Amino acid sequence: MVPARVLPMLGGRDLRTFVCGSDVVDVAVLKAHTVYQPPYDASHKTVKFFWEVMDELSNRERQQVIRYAWGRSRLPTGEDAWRTSHGSSLAFRFLPFAGRSGSPDDSLIEAHTCFFQLNCPAYTSKEIMRKKLLLSVTEGLASGYLIA
């Protein structure tokens, strides 16, 4: 909530950023608010591929990834905004993909928007990670619904 005494000091853009979050996706902020499930951790090859790809994407593509994972395209602004009304902290969840057997390179990334979560196969290269991430995001968003 925005205190009434503060509203006159905010322009339209400031108010939108305060309420909706920044339109610039800061990968470092997202990374700082990410939790992993074993065997994934910050040093896992798949996780490193993901963050390298995220660093290389345009801001629009990053927004699409956030929207695919969460149902909205902006991250919270400021540390307080990462706390829920229940007092817990919001986190981006990056988990292993537990889908079908076979080559991980044959699977797409699965999103669970209610949990701000991606389930990612252990791709064999950064190039495959990029291709599959963008395909997952564009197909998931273009279909008119988010995969959950």
Q: Which of 45, 59, 35, 24 is nearest to 118 (CA)?
A: 35
Measured CA to CA, the distance from residue 95 to residue 103 in angstroms comes to 17
Q: Which of 24, 42, 114, 135 is catalytic?
A: 114
Instruction: State how beta strands 34-36 and 92-96 pair.
Output: parallel
Give yes or no: 114 in active site: yes
For residue 110, list its beta bridge partners. Answer: 119
**What does each C-alpha distance from 110 to 27, 76, 92, 132 come to in angstroms?**
20, 22, 14, 10
Catalytic residue positions, numbered: 114
